[in-house]
């Protein structure tokens, strides 16, 4: 009798965790791309790495250290508000310093090299049932918070000046949103690791916004693409014995290229014609 993937407990946990994280990342990532804050989201993952390795140094759970420092960084970035868009260099420096700080912490405990690899690149097949429940509770809380601020968040993202004139606090919205992003980043890091968070959180959302301009449909498409990438990545990893994180990031990149390719080709086709007309 053929043995299927789901007869293994670790695969059941992996599919459940991947599904939870994909729904959260697809939802949060949509607004992250819409607000042009993808680099800030990427930086949060590196800050979380420092928190996780610092927790290891103190003998605590790396997961909670990852969440704590990521949340703190998310709130700090949110307080910067619109100034965050002009501070890519500063964010990049903080990003590099956080990764370096994490590596320094690990230098004192070289026996945790395996945990470091899991933090950097993810270890979804090592997730236990207790962690799945924690991811579910945090995921539900984050999505509920996102739903509560979705309308003013969309207004502030598309027309910030008008939203502020109507009484929407841009700083408060920014703090609340980046706090939610921080939770999503911490969860996503459990699946693909801190170095590859960008793929699952940004890739599906960016592709969805290219494929559709309808707000609710685009969000649903972003979630569907994230689920497809996460679950198919698990299946491919099971049958090839290649890392799950590799397959998820490869699928994310391929889907994005498929989404953007028709527009790029039509743009190239128009250029010669436009040049001929101009001549």
Q: How far apart, in whole angstroms, are the C-alpha atoms of residue 117 and residue 121? A: 6
Q: How far apart, in whole angstroms, are the C-alpha atoms of residue 54 and residue 107? A: 11
With bands split at pLDDT 50, 70 and 90, how would you rate the model's confidence at 2?
very low
**What are the residue boundaries of the structural domains of the chain, listed by start?**
7-195
Q: What is the pLDDT of residues 141-161, one digit of tens each?
A: 999 999 999 999 999 888 888
Are the C-beta atoms of residues 157 and 35 closer than 8 Å to each other? yes
**Mean pLDDT, the chain, as a whole number?**
81
In this predicted structure, what is the pLDDT of residue 91? Answer: 67
DSSP string covering 212-270: ---HHHHHHHHHHHHHHHHHHHHHHHHHH---HHHHHHHHHHHHHHHHHHHHHHHHHHH
**CATH class for the region spanning 7-195:** mainly alpha
Q: What is the pLDDT of residues 217-245, one digit of tens each?
A: 999 999 999 999 999 999 999 888 888 88
The proportion of the chain whose per-residue pLDDT surpasses 70, expressed as a percent, equals: 82
Cβ-proximal residues to 270 (8 Å cutoff; 6+ apart), any chain? none
Give the range among 104-118, 169-183, 192-206 with minimum mean pLDDT: 104-118
Which one of 4-13, 81-90, 206-215 scores highest in mean pLDDT?
Answer: 206-215
């Amino acid at each position: 009798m053929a043995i299927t993937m789901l007869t293994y407990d670790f695969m059941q946990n992996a599919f459940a965790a991947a599904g939870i994280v994909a729904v959260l990342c697809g939802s949060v990532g949509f607004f992250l791309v819409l607000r042009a804050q993808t680099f800030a989201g990427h930086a949060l993952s590196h800050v979380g790495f420092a928190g996780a390795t610092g927790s290891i140094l103190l003998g605590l759970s790396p997961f909670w250290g990852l969440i704590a420092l990521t949340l703190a960084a998310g709130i700090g970035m949110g307080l910067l508000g619109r100034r965050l868009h002009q501070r890519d260099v500063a964010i990049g420096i903080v990003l590099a310093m956080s990764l370096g700080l994490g590596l320094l912490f690990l230098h004192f405990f070289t026996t945790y090299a395996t945990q470091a690899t899991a933090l950097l690149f993810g270890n979804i097949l090592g997730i236990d049932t207790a962690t799945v429940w924690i991811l579910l509770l945090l995921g539900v809380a984050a999505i509920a918070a996102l739903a509560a601020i979705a309308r003013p968040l969309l207004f502030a993202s598309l027309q910030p000046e008008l939203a502020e004139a109507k009484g929407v606090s841009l700083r408060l919205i920014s703090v609340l949103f980046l706090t939610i992003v921080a939770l999503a980043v911490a969860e996503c890091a459990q699946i693909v690791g801190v170095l590859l968070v960008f793929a699952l959180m940004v890739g599906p959302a960016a592709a969805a916004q290219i494929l559709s301009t309808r707000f609710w449909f685009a969000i649903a498409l972003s979630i569907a693409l994230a689920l497809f990438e996460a679950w198919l990545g698990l299946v491919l990893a099971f049958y090839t014995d290649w890392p799950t994180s590799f397959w998820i990031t490869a699928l994310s990149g391929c889907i994005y290229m498929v989404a953007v390719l028709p527009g790029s080709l039509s743009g190239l086709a128009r250029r010669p014609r436009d040049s001929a007309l101009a001549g």
